[in-house]
Chains A and B, each alone.
Chain A
């Protein structure tokens, strides 16, 4: 520390202050939700390839569309789609939470906690409802 202070005036060799990194913070729900928002966003980024594949397959013809439907109908396809739909809904609810914060509201500790819980519980419930509707629309599981 003394060495650092001695060098303070010398310019280039002075170590720059660093912001504290993730591991110094206590694990909290709001911290996890912040990370999940970014991670779900990154996952959706690459998940958009699925949407592009779907649309291009539809534009290409019955064979290409059949291949896409085969993939989505497979176990892996369903798992990917389930993860994609959850990430999408979670990111959307997390985004709404951010929009509430943008108005200057919801920053009290109890409010933050409530919003964090509403986001995670809401995203899981809505995803399950979406899939229930999906299976109903298809007349039960094929």
Chain B
């Protein structure tokens, strides 16, 4: 009767996925996107500075060229995932009301997805013309 009660079964402990069923996946993905983010962010900053004050025609030509477009697409996709995780962390840390938490978490997902999709679409349009 007084023996210590284990709620977690040995198999569950070994799998180490915890209450959220995904273990340290989010933590790890935030690290992957931060490592990838360093060179991609530097590249994006160089591209942005190179385009400062240039005409629309020059911007279209440079942003639409394959190498630049690929770098920008990688930058956007990587950053989008990184900022989605980051804002989710901030929300679960500070928003304690259950209803508001779900609304803000949904808002985070919608905002990031729309932003990433719109940015990628713009790059692809510049790249493929029309």
Residues of A within 8 A of B (CB): 38, 41-42, 44-45, 48-49, 51-52, 54-56, 58-59, 61-62, 65-66, 69, 85, 88, 92, 95-96, 98-99, 102, 130, 133-134, 137-138, 142
Contact = CB atoms under 8 A, between A and B. Distances in A.
A102 B122 contact: no
A48 B115 contact: yes
Nearest to B62: A58
A88 B41 contact: yes
A98 B123 CA distance: 31
Interface string B27-53: 000010011011001000100111011
Size category of the binding interface on chain B:
20 to 34
Contacts of A54: 48
Contacts of A51: 76, 119
18 contacts: A41-B90, A42-B90, A48-B119, A51-B119, A52-B122, A56-B119, A56-B122, A58-B63, A58-B126, A88-B45, A92-B37, A92-B38, A92-B41, A98-B34, A137-B49, A137-B50, A137-B53, A138-B53
Interface in B54-76: 56-57, 59-60, 63, 72, 76
B35 A99 contact: yes
A58 B121 CA distance: 11
Given A56-B118, A58-B59, A48 B49 contact: no
Contacts of B87: 42, 45
A58 B122 contact: yes
B56 A65 contact: yes
By secondary structure, the A interface counts as: helix
A76 B26 CA distance: 36
B56 A95 contact: no
B41 to A, nearest CB: 6
Contact of A137 (B38, B52, B63, B86): B52
Contact of A59 (B37, B49, B50, B125): B125
Interface in B89-130: 90, 115, 118-119, 121-123, 125-126
A133 B46 CA distance: 10
Contacts of B76: 51
A136 B59 CA distance: 18
